[in-house]
Amino acid sequence: MERRSFLKASAALGCAATITGCKTSSDEPNKVPEVPPVGEKVDWSCCTCNCGHNCPLKVITVDGKITRIETDDVGGDEFGTHQVRACLKGRSSRKKVYSPDRLNRPMKRVGPRGHASSFIECSWDEAFNTIAENLQKVYNEAGPSAVYPHYGTGRLYARYSGGDWRWAGQWGAKLLCEMGGYLSHYGTYSSSQQLAAMYYTYGTITSSTYTEMLHSDLVVAFGFNPAETRMSGGGGTYDWSTCTQGKKVIMIDPRYSDSALGKEDKWLAIRPGTDAALCEALAYEIIRQGKADKAFLDKYCIGYDSDTLPASAKPNSDYKSHILGLGEDGIAKTPEWAAKITGIASNEIVALAQDLMNASTPFICQGLGPQRHAIGEQTVRSIVILPLLLGKIGISGTNSGIWPSHGRSSISLSPKGDNPYSGSISFFTWSDAIVRGVDFTPEKDGLKGVEKLDSNIRFIWNYAGNALINQHSDSFGTHEILASREADELFILVHDVFMTPSAKYADILLPDLTDLEHTDISAFGGTNQETVIPMTTSVNSPVDAKGCFEVTYEIAKRLGLEGAVFEGKNYDQWLDELYKRDQANNAKLPDYKDLVEGGLYKIPNPDFKNVAFSSFFADPEANKLSTPSGKVEIYSETLAAMSTQWELPEGDLIPAIPMYHKTWESYEDTETREQFPLQLIGHHTKSRTHSSFHNIKWLTEAVEDAVWINPKDAAERGITDGAKVEISNDRGSVIIAAKVTPLIMPGVTSLAQGAWLNSDNLSTKVDTGGNVNALTKYHPTPIGKCNPQHTNLVEIRLA
C-alpha cells in the first residue's frame, strides 16, 4: 500500500528513468542530466540513519535490483554550494537491502526473551491481530500511562513515511492519541544533559553556526569530533574543515580523534568527566588576572559575584567566591588543583587561559561526549560559563559554548496527533518505569505533567530502535528486567529491518522497509544551503516487509480507528498534502512533480547565519531570556530549590552554580579504582551510526572494533596490539581485541559504542560482540535524569 501504489504514479510520470539531474531554487540545472544506459533506472533516495543529518543516495537499478549506489555528483566544491556527498555508511546501503540478516516475515515469540531462536514465523494478519488485541487490553486494564512509544536511534528525517523514531514513527503516535494517549518522554540519549543545563542557565538552547568560526581568532573544542560522528558533505565535517582553516584550534579530549588529526594547534588530553574542573581553573586565572568582564556579567547575568547574587542565596555562594576558595568547600580552584584531577599540567592550563584572554572572538564549543557523564549537566554549565566570563558572546565569531548549529529544513514531519495524556518521563528511565513506574515522583524520578503514574509500563512500541538492550545502560541488567516478564505483563512490538539485539525481546517482530525501498521526501538544512531529496524507488524488495504507515494503518483498522487516524487518505494522498503544506511555507520549493523529475533540489542560503543569543546581548530588556530572572543564571534559584526538595542517591548533588564534583566511578573514586583502575569511555566510529550498520561487513572491515589502551597501561598488563582481552567490572565483561595506541591518554580506555551485544548465555554476563553497554551503569544524572554512559571504571586483562 505505502510503497507500491506510489510506484504506479511514479511510472505514469516517467520519473524513475529521468531522475539524474539536480536543480537549484533558481530552476537552473547544475549540469546537463546524463542519459542512463539502456535498462538502468536512477532514483534518488537518502540515508536516514540519525547521525544528525541525512545525505542523498543515487540508486541505480536494473529490473528492480540495485546494481550500485552513488551520491551527490552535481555542483562544485565551493563551500556553501558544495556537493552533499554521502559517507561510506550511506554508500553501503545496498548491503542493507540484500543482507542475509534481514527480517523476511512477521514473527511471534514462542520462547524466552533475548534469543533469536525464540521466534517462529506468523502471518501478517495474525501479527496485526495480536498487536491490536494486546494494545486494547493494556488500555482497558491500565490506561495510557502503561503505553510507551520507545526511543530509537535507527531513522531520522524520512519525513512523511515514518520519519521520527521517538514516537513510533509519528503515525503510531497518532494512533495512540486516538486510543487515549501514551506515556511520553523528554530528552534524548544524544544531548539531554546539554538541553537540561542550557535550560537552567539560558532558559533555552541555541548555538552559533559553524560559519562563525570563520570570524573567530581562536577555536577551543571540548570533546568535539564531527569527523567521525557527522562525516559527510551534509554534516559537520566539511564545515569544520573549512571554517577552521587558518585558525588556532585547541582540542580537549581524552582521545586523539580524527577531528584533531592535522587540524589542531594543541591537543590537551583530559581525564574523562573532569572538564568542569579544567573550566574552574581557567576561570580562576581569568578572575585572578582581572580579565573577567564584570560590567558585562553584572548587566547580563545573575550570581557571578555577590553584587548579583539573589537575596535567597547564602553568603559566598556566588560563582566567583567558589572559584577563589571563599565558598563552602574553601578550595581555590587553581591550575595546580585542577592538574591533579584532569591530568593536564598546570602550565598548560595557564597557557590555555592566556589564549582565551588574548582572543578577540573565541569560539568555544563542546561535543556531546563530555556531557554523558555522572554529573554531565555540570560539565555543560561549566563550559558555557567561559564565554560569559570573557564577555565574548553574542558577537560574530563567538558561540554559547555548545555544539555548533546548521541551517533549517523546509520539510516537516508527518502529524503525530495531540497526546491527551500529560505524563512524561525521561527518555532514560523507561526500564525503571517497567519495574516501579507507579512509584515514580517528580522529585525522585523527574516525572513531569502528572504527580504519579497509574501503571508500570506494559506495552512498548519500538520502531527503528535498538535501545531496548544495545544502546541502553547496563545491558545485562536490562535483560533481566525484560526477560523476567511475560507478554501479559509486558508486551513488546518491534518493527525493524534486522534481528538486532533489541529485536530479540519482541513479542511480535515486524520486518520494515529500508530507506531505498521507501517513497518519501527528506531534506537537510546545511549551513549555507538546504538539500531536498525526493525519495523514489524502483527496488523490488527481496523480503515481505511493510513500512510504518502501512503497519499503523493495519493496526488502526483492527481497532476501528483507521478513519480517525488517517482521515480517509492513503499514503500517496498524505504525501501530496504534507508536501503542499511545506510548499506553502517555503515558496522556493518546486511543485512535487518537478521535484521528482529534477532529482536533488538545492536551495542556496549564503546569508544564513546564527550568532548565539545575539538579540539578548544586543538588548537584554527587549529580548529577555525565558529564565525566571530574564537573564543568564550563573546562580539558579530553581536549582537551589531542587537541591533541597529532590530525592537524590547518596553522592549526587544539584548545585546552584556550575561546579565540578567528584562522582561515582570517576578518576577520583579511589575506592572503586583499587579493583577497577582504568576509566572507560565509548567513542563513535566511521563504521556505525549508533548501532546502525554494525552488521555490514564492508564497514567492519574498514574500521576495526577494538578497545583503545595506552602503551603504558598495556605494558603493565602484558597486552600487545591485537591481543584478545577481557574488559570487566561488576556489571559484566566484554571480550575483544586490544588496540594499543598513544592516541589515548594513560589511565583511560575507549571502546567504540554501538557494537551489537552477543552473548551465548546472557546469565554469564559475558559479551563477545564488543558492546560497551555491557559495562555501563544505570544511574540517571541528577538534574535531567540522563544517561551517564561515559562514566565507568574497569580492569583489562588478557582473555
pLDDT at 159 over 90: no
Compute the mean pLDDT over every residue in the chain, rounded to the nearest whole number. Answer: 92
Cell 535483560 sits on residue: 479
Instruction: Report yes or no on 199 lying in a domain.
Output: no
Which pLDDT does position 28 carry in this prediction?
Answer: 43
Output the CA angle 723-727-730, nearest 5 degrees.
160
Which DSSP string do the residues of 202-261 spell out, in sequence order?
Answer: HSS----BGGGGGG-SEEEEES--HHHHS-STTSHHHHHHHHTTTS-EEEE-SB--TTTT
Q: Which residue has the higher pLDDT, 752 or 29?
A: 752
Residues 67, 79, single domain; the answer is yes
Residues 791, 698, single domain; the answer is yes
pLDDT at 34 over 70: no
Which pLDDT does position 9 carry in this prediction?
Answer: 33
pLDDT at 751 over 80: yes
- Distances in Å between the Cα of 114 and the Cα atoms of 152, 469, 486, 502, 517 are 18, 9, 12, 8, 29
Q: What is the mean pLDDT of residues 36-52?
A: 86
Instruction: Report yes or no on 647 lying in a domain.
Output: no
Residues 59, 177, single domain; the answer is no
Residues 2, 54, single domain; the answer is yes
Q: What is the mean pLDDT of residues 309-316?
A: 98
pLDDT at 720 over 50: yes
CA–CA separation, 287 vs 324, rounded Å? 8
pLDDT at 111 over 90: yes
Residues 535, 590, single domain; the answer is yes
- Number of domains the chain is built from: 3
CA–CA separation, 654 vs 378, rounded Å? 9
User: Considering only CA atoms, which of 667, 657, 664 is closest in space to residue 269?
Assistant: 667
Residue 331 C-alpha cell reads as 578550595
pLDDT tens profile 499-534: 999 999 999 999 999 999 989 999 888 777 889 999
Complete edge-to-edge strand list for the sheet that includes strand 40-47? 40-47, 55-62, 65-71
Residues 560, 415, single domain; the answer is yes
Q: What is the mean pLDDT of residues 15-27?
A: 41
Domain closes at, from 598, 618, 637: 598
Asked if residue 118 lies in contact with residue 504, where contact means CB atoms within 8 angstroms, the answer is yes
User: Considering only CA atoms, which of 387, 354, 382, 357 is closest in space to residue 370?
Assistant: 382
Which pLDDT does position 758 carry in this prediction?
Answer: 95
Instruction: Report yes or no on 206 lying in a domain.
Output: no
Which pLDDT does position 35 carry in this prediction?
Answer: 64
pLDDT at 759 over 80: yes
Which pLDDT does position 20 carry in this prediction?
Answer: 34
Asked if residue 656 lies in contact with residue 314, where contact means CB atoms within 8 angstroms, the answer is no
**What is the DSSP secondary structure assignment for residue 621, as one 8-state letter?**
T
Cell 563550559 sits on residue: 383
pLDDT tens profile 447-471: 999 999 999 999 999 999 999 999 9
Which pLDDT does position 724 carry in this prediction?
Answer: 98
User: Considering only CA atoms, which of 665, 690, 693 is closest in space to residue 678?
Assistant: 665
Residues 465, 579, single domain; the answer is no
Which pLDDT does position 165 carry in this prediction?
Answer: 67
CA 351, 352, 357, 359 torsion-angle sign = positive
pLDDT band at 234; cut points 50, 70, 90: confident
pLDDT at 18 over 80: no
Q: Which residue has the higher pLDDT, 29 or 659?
A: 659
Instruction: Report yes or no on 625 lying in a domain.
Output: no
Which pLDDT does position 192 carry in this prediction?
Answer: 96
Residues 460, 556, single domain; the answer is yes
- Distances in Å between the Cα of 229 and the Cα atoms of 224, 469, 503, 644 are 9, 22, 25, 38
pLDDT band at 485; cut points 50, 70, 90: very high
Residues 482, 579, single domain; the answer is no
Which pLDDT does position 8 carry in this prediction?
Answer: 32
User: Considering only CA atoms, which of 757, 782, 761 is closest in space to residue 771?
Assistant: 757
Which pLDDT does position 5 carry in this prediction?
Answer: 35
Instruction: Report yes or no on 449 lying in a domain.
Output: yes
pLDDT at 22 over 70: no
- Distances in Å between the Cα of 779 and the Cα atoms of 78, 325, 430, 495 are 46, 30, 12, 28
pLDDT tens profile 671-686: 999 999 999 999 999 8
Residues 701, 770, single domain; the answer is yes
pLDDT band at 174; cut points 50, 70, 90: very high
Which pLDDT does position 14 carry in this prediction?
Answer: 32
- Distances in Å between the Cα of 654 and the Cα atoms of 212, 448, 784 are 33, 18, 10
Name the β-bridge partners of 751.
Answer: 682, 707
pLDDT tens profile 571-624: 999 999 999 999 999 999 999 999 999 888 988 887 788 999 999 999 999 999
Q: In CATH, what number is assigned to the domain containing residue 135?
A: 3.40.50.740
Residue 234 C-alpha cell reads as 551534509
What is the domain range of residue 67?
Answer: 1-98+514-542+568-598
Residues 781, 703, single domain; the answer is yes
pLDDT at 633 over 50: yes
Which pLDDT does position 796 carry in this prediction?
Answer: 98
Which pLDDT does position 7 carry in this prediction?
Answer: 33
Query: What whole-number percentage of the chain has pLDDT above 70?
Result: 95
pLDDT tens profile 366-400: 999 999 999 999 999 999 999 999 999 999 999 99
Instruction: Report yes or no on 311 lying in a domain.
Output: no
Q: In CATH, what number is assigned to the domain containing residue 520?
A: 3.30.200
Q: In CATH, what number is assigned to the domain containing residue 723?
A: 2.40.40.20
Residue 351 C-alpha cell reads as 597557557
Asked if residue 228 lies in contact with residue 253, where contact means CB atoms within 8 angstroms, the answer is no
Residue 273 C-alpha cell reads as 568527566
The values of phi and psi at residue 552, to 5°, are -65, -40
Which pLDDT does position 474 carry in this prediction?
Answer: 98
Residues 691, 752, single domain; the answer is yes
Instruction: Report yes or no on 129 lying in a domain.
Output: yes
CA–CA separation, 751 vs 760, rounded Å? 21
Instruction: Report yes or no on 442 lying in a domain.
Output: yes
Asked if residue 362 lies in contact with residue 218, where contact means CB atoms within 8 angstroms, the answer is yes
